[in-house]
Structures are given as C-alpha cells and as structure tokens.
Structure 1
C-alpha cells in the first residue's frame, strides 16, 4: 500500500502545517491519466484546425436519366382475348419481337375476310363512280345537242313566220284586186239593168252581167277567206316560235337537273370512297395490333396478365419490359434549405445499398467503397416537401458497379466547401447552414473544393442548360 503512494514532493507552504494534509498522498495512476487527458485535449484542439469538407446528405434510389431507359409497361392498343404468350419472364427480346398474341372480341371484326371484303366494296364504289362520270359527260353532250337543236328549230320557226307573213301580204293584195273587180262588176250590173229598163239591152245580156257579178262576189269571198286563213297561220307560227323556246328550256332544265344529280352522286361517292379507304387502312393497321410487340430491346420483367383466354381492355398494360444497358442515375431528395447550395455539375459521393463501404463524409478522399457523381438535374418543384436531384456517374472517376439495379437504395452527399472541424462543430451545434459563398467553378468543387465568391452564376437544371 505504501509503495503505491508517495508523499508530496513540494509541501505547500500554506497547507504544510496541517497534519492531515501531510498524510495525503497522490496516486501515480492519477498523474498518468491527467497527462493522457492533457495530451488528448491538445490533440483535440489541434484536430479542430484540420480541414473538413462540408456536405449535404440525402437518401434516394437508383433510376435512369433518360425516360426511355426506365421500366416500361407495354399496353394493348385494342381490346381482345389473349391467344398465346411468345415470351417468358426474364427473357431477352429485341425491338419488334412478338410478346403476346390476342384475338378479336368485337363482333363487327369477327369476319376473317373483312379486309378483303372491304377492299371489294371500295373497288365496286370506284367502278360506280367511273360510270357515273360517264353519265355526267353524256348529259353534258345531251345539253349541247339540245342547245344546237334549239338554235336550228328557232331558225326554222322564224323562217316559217316570215314565209307566212309574205303569204298574208300576197293574200291581202289578192283581196284588194278582188274588191276592185267586185266594185267594177257591181257598177257594170247597175248600168246593164238601167239599159235593160230603157230597152237597149236584152234580158240575156243582163243575165250574163249578173252571172259575172256573182263570180266577182264569190271570188271576193274566197280571197277574204284565204287571207283569214293566212293570218291565222301567221299567228300559229308566231305562237309556235314562242313555245319552241319554252319547250327546249324545259328539256334543258330537265337535263341540267339530271346532270347535277349525277355530279352530286359523284361527290357523295367520292366521300364514301374516302371513308372506305380510311376504313380499309384502319382494318389493315388493326390487324397488326393482334400481336403485341416489344417497343425496344430489353428484358421481360413481369407479365401483368396471366393465362390464355383472359380478356384485356383497350389500352390495358400487359407486360413490363426493362431496357438493356440503361444510363443509370441516382435519384436523391434534399431539403428546400439545401437546394440553393446545389448546382448542376457539383461533385457528389454515393454509397450503394449492398455494396461494402467505409465512409468518412468529411474526408471523401479517405472513404472506401464510395463512387463519384455529378449533379445533372435539379427539379424546380418540390415533391412532398423535398426537391429531387438526379446524379449521373462522374466519367473522370471509377465506374459504378455493373451489378447495380434500378430501384436499389443509394446514399449520397454533395461536397461543398472545406472548413475547419471546429467551425463545422460550431455550425452543427448552432444549427447554421453550411458555408456558402457562390457557385463552384469548373463544374464542381473547383480547385480542392474552393468556391468562387465573386462569380454570381445562377443555378440551372439540365433542361435550362440545354436552352
């Protein structure tokens, strides 16, 4: 017991006079511990001046940068019944390979010769249209013939009117001559009767004169009748000339009506032909939808429908295909207060689930099993209070493992400024944000993580960078 304890080497001038103080001894272990604690304290103080890389920690999952590289569900364009599967889950398929075959369920498409019958209807309609075009041409020729016949008939009728008018003039001249002859015969008869009463003329001569007078009277009456008939014939020829135009106009109107009906039928037939062509094209395209084909090269991940004979609706998903060799990206979610600290091109360190790693977040160069990345996209809208950030592989550093799969978890931290450890502890205790002075140059941390304080470069997403 006495060997483990020693008296004080330098007695205290004040307490040395006390008996109890003189009996107190200091253990050697305590002195050693005190020295170790002092040395540790010095080390801790010195370590506080060591550099520390500030970072933004976040967790997410693996996805792809391009939408076409993500798992794709293949729907059916038309409704139908599953007739047979041509692939199995996990099978590699090429673009255009048949995945599933379906059969028709709509009764209007049951006819196996529907495409051929529709084509025959189209050909028949086209032939009918050609014949109708011939009818239209014939009706046009008929109208031309009617117009030519009208011109000839009008000339003929005009000639007949003129001929009848000349005949009337001739009959009027004959009438004037017959009237004069009648007047002379009447005067001669009067003188003959006077001479007969005086006994100068015989009864025979008187009767001869009376006979001539009767002949003149009959001639005058015949000429008057002939003139009346000529005038009536002139009126009839004029009426015929007038009615001739109306008659031909009626024929032309009827022919024009038939021609317009033929033209209307032609337009209607052209519309029906266009409709039949559209229907025929739709049927041919629809026949190609009976085989659901792979939209791109990939692996069949999951069959969303099972068995044979199951009914699928129009636009319903049938199978999921995972594209080959997708361009992977880490989908991380950060807090709104950390978004201003990020920029496109900033360096990020990633740790993947299932991949062994030894992480020192403040000393990324000392970490093991982490992989480099660069910020490629920063969303402009939040998702349930967090902002999505897409990180792509850093081509200048080690490649990401080939065993990674879309959907696996990933832990990442974006590297910011280099500060002292004591400053980082002080910031964490006070809840202050990381040190931020500007946007990094050279697309990342710049030279050893320093920030360009004078360069006020805005933060863009990859879409805005492209613009």
Structure 2
C-alpha cells in the first residue's frame, strides 16, 4: 500500500510511471506459476498412461550356442615327459596340428621295440594254435580210422558168430540123432542078451551086437562133446566181440581225450592271442598318443607347462583351445521368482561390454545400441549361485551381433514382457510385486502381442 502511494506520488510529480517500479517490483505483472504447475501436472498424468514394457534384467556373459564350440581343455591321455613344443600361446592351429610331443616315462613301455616284440609273441602264439588245430584234425582222423577198424572187426566176429551158431545147431541135431541111435542100440542089446541066455543066438552074434552098442555110445559121447565145444566157441566169440568193443572204446576215448586236450590248448591259446592283440593295439595306440593333436580349428591359450622335460600326468590339462568357428549365444542368470515369466522363443534385448548403448528399459523401441536375441534353453536345475541359467541365441530377424564380440564378454539382458501403463509399473515397483505372468498369443511371433494368463 505504501509502495502504491509512493508510486502515485512520484507519477503526480513527474507525470509518467518510473521504469524501476516496472522492472524491479513487477507489481503489475500476473504470476504464471499456477499455469506451469498445471502444465507439469498434465504432463505427468499423460506420462503415467504411456505404455511401459515390463522386463526382467539379468546379467551374464557371451558363450556359444553349442557346447563343442566353447573353449575346451586339451588333456593328455598318457603320462609323459615333454620333448618339444610345436606351438606357442596365441597361435592359431588347424584340426590335427601337433601341439606338443611327449616321451615315455613308464618302465613297462620304455622298450623301443615293444610293439615289434609283442607282434612276434602274437605270431608265435598263433603258430601254437595252428599246431594244436592240426593235432585235433589228426586225432579226428585217428578216431575215424579206429571206428572203421572196429566196425570191420565186429563184422568179422559177427560172421563167425553166425557160423558158430549154425555149428551149435548142427551139433545139437547130431546129439539128438546119437541119442536116438543109443535108444535103439540099448533095446537091441537087451533083446540080444535075452536071446543069448535062451540060446537063440550064438555068442558071436551077441558080442557083435554088444560091440555095436558100444560104438553107438561112443558116437553119442562124441556128438555131445562136439556140441559142448560149439557152445564154448560161441561163448568165446561173444566175449571176444565184447572185448573188441571195449578195447576200441578205450582207444577212441583216449584219442578223444587227446583231442579235447588239444582243443583246450587251442582255447587257451586263443585267449592269449586275444590278450596279446589287445596289448598290441594298446601299444600301437599309445605310440600315437606321444603327439598331442589339436581337436579342432582354434587358438591355443593357457599353456599349463612351460618347459622341456616337464612331466605331465594322465588326464592333466596341457593347453586350452578356443574354437575359431562358433555360433554366438549368451548365458544369463535369472532369479527363481522371474523364471516362470520366461519361455522358449521369447524376445530378449542385450547390451555388451565395450559396445556403447543408450537404454530406455521401458521403451525398448527408443533404446539405441541394443541387440536382439531369443531364448533357446532354460535349465531346470538351480545353479550354485542360486540362479537359473538361461541360454539366449542371436535373433536372426534383428540386427546382427558385433563381429568382434569375444567369448566371455559381459552381457546385460532385458527380457521383454507385457506392455502396461507407467502408473501400473510404478505401483508394482513400490509394492514389490513381480511382473505380470503372461503367455504369448497363439499364431503370433515372439515379438507380437502378449496376453495375460
């Protein structure tokens, strides 16, 4: 009020307003703070409704899509002494190139002619097997010959048996005939004795008939003896046949035993031959292990042994080979809470160490310097660091990953999720809620529309 009175007083004296009151005190100006305040509030409200892409941020490193394309340790198979290095660290090698040459250190393999002498042992053992095989063949021939001889001898004995049986039958008939004659002679002698006593016949006739009776009796005794001898001959032939069978059975059994013994020697020899062949092949392969070769094209790094005559143990790492040709991928580590939000084929954005980028995590379209990827594998087992490992391959539909990207380079991934308003994302972050769980729409690409599950 005082200033207005002062200004009016000065204007009354001077006749016009002073510039100092206009520029310094600005008491006639209207304030624009309210207007700016409402404009800012409006902008904030508009920003709150701008779409924001939810994402999961994870860290990881560059690796390869296939495990055989990753850096691999080159281990020696046998223990040895380093004789010569054919490459040095940093050299690029082709598959099959010699890395290092080793010498033998074990007593069992120090003989320079070990392979040749083992081959001689193998040949000698094979000759032994051939000898026993020939012996088996000869024994088989002997057994066949004895069987044939037995068959011939048994045939001869069987023929004699048939003849003897016929002779026994014939002698049996002779005995029957002699008995009949003896019966007649007994009756005639009795009649002659009665007639001689009655004086019907003379003494001479009686003596003739008595002599005739004795002759018939002698014929009967002879027939019985011949019959008994024939039966004895038949029994002897039967015993001879059994003895022949037994004798040849023993001979054949002895020959068969010799054959089985030879076959046993053959089996033992074959076992020795197989063992010697195994040793021979092991020695031959071991001779090829004295030169450690590159398994694939790549660069030699991390040599564990540095000098000559150093001893390396079996399975010990000699160098590491980084493959020259590989397909890049990235392995990232995801928290268990975020794992359910990821799926195979899902879009992922990347930034790599050493490659500048401008990141707007909620607006991936406005980001600069990022690279695209697709999830190809999600491990189901928790790793030692308490996170789940996710493998992401290069997105062929996006910009290519840098050609100078090296294995092991650090990477930061942004797995793109559902589009939500900014106010919803702020509310979620303040309350500590996880991003929305969703699945991709059927029939649409991984970068297309997303729907809430």
TM-score normalised according to structure 1 size: 0.73
Equivalent in the alignment of 2:43: 46
Counterpart among 445, 451, 467 of residue 447 in structure 2: 445
- Alpha-carbon shift at residue 324 of structure 1 (Å): 1.0
> Does residue 280 of the first structure (1) align with residue 277 of the second (2)?
no
SS at match of 1:338: helix
- Alpha-carbon shift at residue 31 of structure 1 (Å): 11
Q: Is the 8 A contact 1:75 1:319 kept in 2?
A: yes
What CA deviation, in whole Å up to 9, does each residue of 1:242-297 have, x standing for no partner?
A: 32222222111111211222223233333333333333223222222222111111
Equivalent in the alignment of 1:213: none
| Distance 1:98-1:234 versus aligned 2 partners, 3 A rule | same
User: 2: CA distance between counterparts of 1:30 and 1:244?
Assistant: 155
| Distance 1:225-1:253 versus aligned 2 partners, 3 A rule | same
Q: Is the 8 A contact 2:371 2:400 kept in 1?
A: yes
- Alpha-carbon shift at residue 321 of structure 1 (Å): 0.5
User: 2: CA distance between counterparts of 1:138 and 1:30?
Assistant: 140
Q: Is the 8 A contact 2:341 2:438 kept in 1?
A: no
Equivalent in the alignment of 1:433: 434
| Distance 1:8-1:269 versus aligned 2 partners, 3 A rule | farther
User: 2: CA distance between counterparts of 1:392 and 1:31?
Assistant: 67
Equivalent in the alignment of 1:86: 86
| Distance 1:219-1:321 versus aligned 2 partners, 3 A rule | same
| Distance 1:228-1:428 versus aligned 2 partners, 3 A rule | closer
User: 2: CA distance between counterparts of 1:67 and 1:250?
Assistant: 71
Equivalent in the alignment of 1:335: 335
Mean Cα deviation higher: 233-242 or 272-281: 233-242
- 1:60-459 aligned at under 5 Å gives the runs 60-158=60-158, 236-383=236-383, 384-439=385-440, 442-446=444-448, 451-453=449-451
| Distance 1:230-1:364 versus aligned 2 partners, 3 A rule | closer
| Distance 1:337-1:223 versus aligned 2 partners, 3 A rule | closer
SS at match of 1:318: strand
- Alpha-carbon shift at residue 6 of structure 1 (Å): 9.1
- Alpha-carbon shift at residue 353 of structure 1 (Å): 1.6
User: 2: CA distance between counterparts of 1:395 and 1:6?
Assistant: 77
User: 2: CA distance between counterparts of 1:33 and 1:378?
Assistant: 63
User: 1: CA distance between counterparts of 2:27 and 2:373?
Assistant: 51
For structure 1, list consecutive stretches of 5 or more residues without a partner in the other structure.
Answer: 10-26, 192-200, 202-217, 457-467
User: 2: CA distance between counterparts of 1:343 and 1:159?
Assistant: 98
| Distance 1:443-1:166 versus aligned 2 partners, 3 A rule | closer
| Distance 1:29-1:137 versus aligned 2 partners, 3 A rule | farther
User: 1: CA distance between counterparts of 2:42 and 2:404?
Assistant: 44
User: 2: CA distance between counterparts of 1:366 and 1:143?
Assistant: 99
Q: Is the 8 A contact 1:49 1:420 kept in 2?
A: no
- Alpha-carbon shift at residue 347 of structure 1 (Å): 2.6
| Distance 1:252-1:378 versus aligned 2 partners, 3 A rule | closer
User: 2: CA distance between counterparts of 1:232 and 1:311?
Assistant: 92
User: 1: CA distance between counterparts of 2:30 and 2:338?
Assistant: 44
TM-score normalised according to structure 2 size: 0.75
For structure 2, list consecutive stretches of 5 or more residues without a partner in the other structure.
Answer: 6-23, 194-202, 204-217
User: 1: CA distance between counterparts of 2:270 and 2:4?
Assistant: 124
Equivalent in the alignment of 1:459: none
User: 1: CA distance between counterparts of 2:407 and 2:34?
Assistant: 50
- Alpha-carbon shift at residue 300 of structure 1 (Å): 0.5
User: 2: CA distance between counterparts of 1:367 and 1:453?
Assistant: 24
User: 2: CA distance between counterparts of 1:141 and 1:438?
Assistant: 84
Query: How many residue pairs are counted as aligned between the two chains?
Result: 421
Please tell me the root mean square deviation across aligned C-alpha atoms, in Å.
4.6
User: 2: CA distance between counterparts of 1:370 and 1:327?
Assistant: 19
